[in-house]
């Protein structure tokens, strides 16, 4: 069996890797591998802290994927020989003032009622454990089960294990024959055939001709990477999330000394880096960890999260030869182990009984109704195929 995966973000790459481990031949196609949303992501693996967003169909998916992470990370580290920057240190969610503390109490109630192991501690106790926290921090929720990984290292490891199976090219069109996707056409006109095509092009899936229009929204976010000066190392030993005047902000420390500060969230369609957003992030982070202003900025990245109307991923078959896997919104790094297994099973006809109860229906594209999925297929159907580029499997 041969599968083409369109898109080399964390979802396409991890799906391709899972398929290859099952003995399936894969070709991953992307003009700019691993430079989409996965390049921006902070890498928080945070099923409990994300409960704040009130998206109950997501909780079982996030929890199940978090449970898969230790094996996913260990297997990928072993296969690639790469260090993934995986940290199992706990997370603090801090309150910037008394009003934010009241919000945190509500968060704790919701997290506990959802079965998560969390505790609320006083600001003084939080500072004992994390001395760089500001004197104004007046309480913190401790979450032992929320961890982190470095997404740039994860995608680099995946690209390393898939190096012979990756083609740098843009897919323009799905090739359709008698109602079934049978391959893809690249922008230079090259046509590739496959038994199955997986479209995992993040927030750009609708730019590919032949993909039924998916109800995707682009949720732009700025994220800042910093390096801690040697004299202040280690500035933080766990992920610090917080509410500052009701605005969420986070700082993720990497094992290699990097800090990731994020993230803005906007749907204004502007791909540029917004000065006000960066200013706000630094100001809010300073309220929680004042020494953040003594660090060196190494990188500011702006990317679009691939959002869906209900913030739940869109994973499912769109015709007998094609599966889509997108809409991972702000949880794609956390959901990669589960999302890739589910996508690989759907593409190969594998058993999906392992998936959390109700999850297939929760992620299915058909949940939006066929009226929301009009085909944007090209008027003329392409004939099938012909040429495989160098480096791909036959």
Ligand X SMILES: Cc1cc2nc3c(=O)[nH]c(=O)nc-3n(C[C@H](O)[C@H](O)[C@H](O)COP(=O)(O)OP(=O)(O)OC[C@H]3O[C@@H](n4cnc5c(N)ncnc54)[C@H](O)[C@@H]3O)c2cc1C
Strand partners, 218: 306
332 binds ligand X per the rule CB under 6 A: yes
- Which residue matches tokens 């739940």? 312
Could you give the CA distance from residue 123 to residue 366 in angstroms, rounded to a whole number? 47
Q: Out of 108, 334, 342, 362, which residue is the one contacting ligand X (CB under 6 A)? A: 334
Could you give the CA distance from residue 49 to residue 91 in angstroms, rounded to a whole number? 8
338 binds ligand X per the rule CB under 6 A: no
> Residues in contact with ligand X, total (CB under 6 A)?
44
Q: Closest by alpha carbon to 91, among 126, 115, 56?
A: 126
330 binds ligand X per the rule CB under 6 A: yes
Could you give the CA distance from residue 209 to residue 212 in angstroms, rounded to a whole number? 8
Nearer to ligand X, 34 or 138 (CB): 34
Could you give the CA distance from residue 273 to residue 88 in angstroms, rounded to a whole number? 31
Q: Which stretch binds ligand X (CB under 6 A): 89-97, 116-124, 326-334, 379-387?
A: 326-334
Give me the least distance between CB of 230 and ligand X, in Å please: 26
Could you give the CA distance from residue 363 to residue 265 in angstroms, rounded to a whole number? 23
Strand partners, 258: 227
In angstroms, how far is CA 218 from the centroid of its own chain? 13
Q: Out of 8, 19, 174, 211, which residue is the one contacting ligand X (CB under 6 A)? A: 8
Of residues 154 through 193, those in contact with ligand X by CB under 6 A are 170-171
271 binds ligand X per the rule CB under 6 A: no
Of residues 37 through 56, those in contact with ligand X by CB under 6 A are 37-38, 40-44
337 binds ligand X per the rule CB under 6 A: no
Give me the least distance between CB of 152 and ligand X, in Å please: 11
201 binds ligand X per the rule CB under 6 A: yes
Strand partners, 306: 218
Could you give the CA distance from residue 251 to residue 289 in angstroms, rounded to a whole number? 9
Q: Closest by alpha carbon to 76, among 145, 150, 1?
A: 150
- DSSP class of residue 131? T
11 binds ligand X per the rule CB under 6 A: yes
Site pattern 220..239 for ligand X (x: CB under 6 A): -x-x----------------
Q: Which stretch binds ligand X (CB under 6 A): 10-18, 160-168, 270-278, 349-357?
A: 10-18
69 binds ligand X per the rule CB under 6 A: no
Nearer to ligand X, 58 or 126 (CB): 58
Site pattern 291..310 for ligand X (x: CB under 6 A): ------------x-xx----
Nearer to ligand X, 306 or 321 (CB): 306
Nearer to ligand X, 12 or 183 (CB): 12
- Which residue matches tokens 């005047």? 245
Could you give the CA distance from residue 387 to residue 107 in angstroms, rounded to a whole number? 55
Burial class (CB in 10 A: 0-12, 13-18, 19+), 378: middle
Q: How far is CA 220 from CA 54, 78, 145, 201, in A?
A: 20, 34, 27, 16
The footprint of ligand X (CB under 6 A) covers 6-12, 29-33, 35-38, 40-44, 170-171, 200-202, 204, 207-208, 221, 223, 262-263, 303, 305-306, 326, 328-334
């Amino acid at each position: 069996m041969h599968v083409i995966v369109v898109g080399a973000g964390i979802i396409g790459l991890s799906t391709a890797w899972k398929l290859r481990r099952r003995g399936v031949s894969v070709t991953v196609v992307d003009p700019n591998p691993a430079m989409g949303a996965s390049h921006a992501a902070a890498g928080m693996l945070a099923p409990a802290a994300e409960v704040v967003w009130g998206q109950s169909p997501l909780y079982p998916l996030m929890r199940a994927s978090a449970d898969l992470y230790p094996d996913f990370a260990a297997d990928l580290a072993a296969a690639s020989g790469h260090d993934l920057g995986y940290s199992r240190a706990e997370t603090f969610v801090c309150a910037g003032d008394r009003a934010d503390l009241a919000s945190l109490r509500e968060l704790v109630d919701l997290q506990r009622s959802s079965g998560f192991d969390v505790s609320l501690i006083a600001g003084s106790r939080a500072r004992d454990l994390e001395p760089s926290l500001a004197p104004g921090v007046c309480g913190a929720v401790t979450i032992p089960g929320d961890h982190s990984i470095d997404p740039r290292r994860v995608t680099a490891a995946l690209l390393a294990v898939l190096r012979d199976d990756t083609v740098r090219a843009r897919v323009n069109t799905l090739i359709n024959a008698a109602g079934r996707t049978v391959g893809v056409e690249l922008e230079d006109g090259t046509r590739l055939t496959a038994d199955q095509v997986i479209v995992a092009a993040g927030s750009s899936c609708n730019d590919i001709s032949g993909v039924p229009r998916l109800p995707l929204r682009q949720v732009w976010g700025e994220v800042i990477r910093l390096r801690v000066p040697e004299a202040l190392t280690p500035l933080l030993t766990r992920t610090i999330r917080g509410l500052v005047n009701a605005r969420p902000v986070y700082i993720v420390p990497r094992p290699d000394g990097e800090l990731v500060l994020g993230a803005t969230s906007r749907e204004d369609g502007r791909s540029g880096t917004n000065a006000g957003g960066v200013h706000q992030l630094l100001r809010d982070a300073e309220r929680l960890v004042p020494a953040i202003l003594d660090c060196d900025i190494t990188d500011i990245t702006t990317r679009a999260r691939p959002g869906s109307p209900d913030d739940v991923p869109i994973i499912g078959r769109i015709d007998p030869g094609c599966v889509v896997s997108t809409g991972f919104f702000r949880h794609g790094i956390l959901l990669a182990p589960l999302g890739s297994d589910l996508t690989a099973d759907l593409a190969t006809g594998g058993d999906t009984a392992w998936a959390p109860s109700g999850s297939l229906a929760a992620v299915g594209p058909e949940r939006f109704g066929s009226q929301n999925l009009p085909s944007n297929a090209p008027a003329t159907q392409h004939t099938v195929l012909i040429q495989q580029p160098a480096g791909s499997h036959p």
